[in-house]
A and B are shown apart, each in its own frame.
Chain A
């Protein structure tokens, strides 16, 4: 299998997963210290193999949407960790000027059409992006990243049908971490054959082990290039485990401790490290160097976020409409009109 994957990519998978984990652990610490904006922070620790494996199989110009657990995917797609962290902290220097936070990071210049706090909410946009790509001859593929939970939303199936019907350059990527919040997948779905469901819609579908990032990359590459070539939309389900709770503070009392221990043993980073060391492609020292670099990067991201300013109050009225038209009238101004004078 490893013959089909370049050595540079194999190392890059590992480096990317380490950066994702370093990022997630760091924002998790900031969250626990009350230094992030908002009550919700969903970490993808344990799921890095899915994010890195699929994201690195994409090409520049490809577009994507993510679910609420999307930091890792964007780190893997080239997201600037400083602006990401600033966004998560609610600062003006963040990707979305502090308006979006952890669950709404986006960067159009990198094809990130947006993270979403509505389960399934970002899926149909990739059908549209696939349509635009096909209509305008852009040559790009659009990938929807979502959790197993979104597999029970009607919009997911409406989107799959359209993408298959119109043979769009689209790939649906379900990251199956076994749980949607506190609900194990077998309590949410009568069938766990998600790939089979996708096949029912006429999609080319594969199921992979997300803790083996190279397998993810190989499967995703095949689907993405097939879609790019106009041969039809694809579906990949990447099975892994959510190491933390649903949100950072959730201790997952609904999970069996033995299952958790077992799940956390299936670590995509350690798997990839051992694979590469076993083949003589990596040394312990190089592995440590990956971590050091990642931690330094996150130090810089953290201080950038900390030193950044809060958005000014008036910025809340910006970005509702295109800047060519006036912003919404503040409530206070409406009061002034009624009363005359300043409040």
Chain B
């Protein structure tokens, strides 16, 4: 779906706005369009969201639709599930995705499985928004990238917007999804700015953010920006990297991914989550299955280290991919055989 509903005038298409403003606009438009849409979570109302995403929404929509909750993650998600099954379209928020662990039964045993266990009688049309990732030295319990956990769970959709336009359109699409969507917002992106386009492809369509014939950088969320920086660096040396933004892991656009890797013959997967059994492992397997005869070089994975995220700034920064490390790995891949 390119445009879920007719676009009201207030949205600043063509203007440069912050990622968090794009998220706010998406929620606002959907709440205006559909009285069943509610926002529920800790500090989403009066406080305006821990990162300011929902500022002004309580004032516009009132306490019946913007619900500040106690610190009760399992109940927040569970309440959203029940409401979604009985007529509302909840957007539930976890302040940090790390807190999903407190609500994991509701997410993985309930939301993800209800359609299936009950023989397709009912779906759970809800969005679970959460802040993810490193960048603010917030420590081991406020900095994780847990997309693999959700991707691993049949029944959940997983969206990881990297751009302002995707923040807006993917969130609107997620709200319209008939199935639960885990919507992961990278904390280092909230203040990032970009032009809000007047359309974006649907969930499940990967987008090439930069053309290139020598290798494919496969990524999503904040690492997209690191990959683009690395690609600029590489271009100065004559290496042209295609940068592919997956946007959603479920649904996954394997077609576009495979086409790119078949063309370039080389894939470097860049994620911020841990390496072992991480998203990059599944991506690597998928590429190998789809592109084996086309691969010029082994598939490379650059990811977060297999450690909890440390607080100390040099350690935190050193524990996830940087533009420099991406460029170095790409260079080596290209020059592996001289």
* A-to-B contact residues, CB < 8 Å: 37-40, 90-92, 98-104, 116-121, 149-150, 152-155, 180-183, 187-189, 254, 310-311, 313, 315-317, 320, 328-332, 334-335, 338-341, 343
Contact = CB atoms under 8 A, between A and B. Distances in A.
Interface string B203-216: 00000000000000
B218 to A, nearest CB: 15
Interface in B138-152: 138-142
Contacts of B68: 183, 187
21 contacts: A98-B315, A99-B308, A99-B311, A116-B141, A118-B98, A118-B99, A118-B102, A153-B71, A153-B102, A180-B70, A180-B71, A182-B43, A310-B313, A316-B305, A316-B315, A316-B319, A317-B307, A328-B307, A338-B298, A339-B298, A339-B333
B311 A101 contact: yes
Max chain B CB contacts within 10 Å: which of A40, A117, A254?
A117
Interface residues of B, number: 49
A116 B50 CA distance: 19
Give the 5 A-B CB pairs with smallest separation, nearest first. Answer: A101-B311, A152-B70, A98-B312, A90-B312, A38-B137
Contact of B314 (A103, A313, A341): A313
B318 interface: yes
A101 B312 contact: yes
Contacts of A37: 137, 311-313
Interface string B265-278: 00000000001000
Contacts of B108: none
A120 B99 CA distance: 11
A254 B302 CA distance: 43
A316 B275 contact: no
B328 interface: yes
A332 B301 CA distance: 10
Max chain A CB contacts within 10 Å: which of B46, B99, B315?
B315
B119 to A, nearest CB: 30
A152 B71 contact: yes
B311 to A, nearest CB: 3
Given A335-B300, A339-B300, A343-B332, A99 B70 contact: no
B72 interface: yes
A181 B42 contact: yes
Nearest to B47: A182
B275 to A, nearest CB: 6
Max chain A CB contacts within 10 Å: which of B69, B140, B307, B311?
B311
Contact of B70 (A90, A189, A341): A189
Interface string B129-141: 0000000111111
Nearest to B321: A331
Given A121-B141, A152-B70, A310 B303 contact: no
Contacts of A116: 141
Given A99-B311, A118-B102, A188 B332 contact: no
A99 B305 contact: no
A330 B72 CA distance: 36
Nearest to A254: B46
A264 B137 CA distance: 30
Contacts of B304: 331
A188 to B, nearest CB: 4
A170 B53 CA distance: 40
A343 B333 CA distance: 10
A312 to B, nearest CB: 9
A117 B305 contact: no
A341 B329 CA distance: 12
Contacts of A92: 312
B303 A99 contact: no
Nearest to A40: B138
Given A90-B313, A99-B315, A183-B46, A335 B305 contact: no
Given A152-B70, A152-B72, A153-B71, A254 B138 contact: no
Contacts of B301: 331, 334-335
Contacts of B141: 103-104, 116-118, 121
Contacts of B46: 182-183, 254
Contacts of A152: 70-72
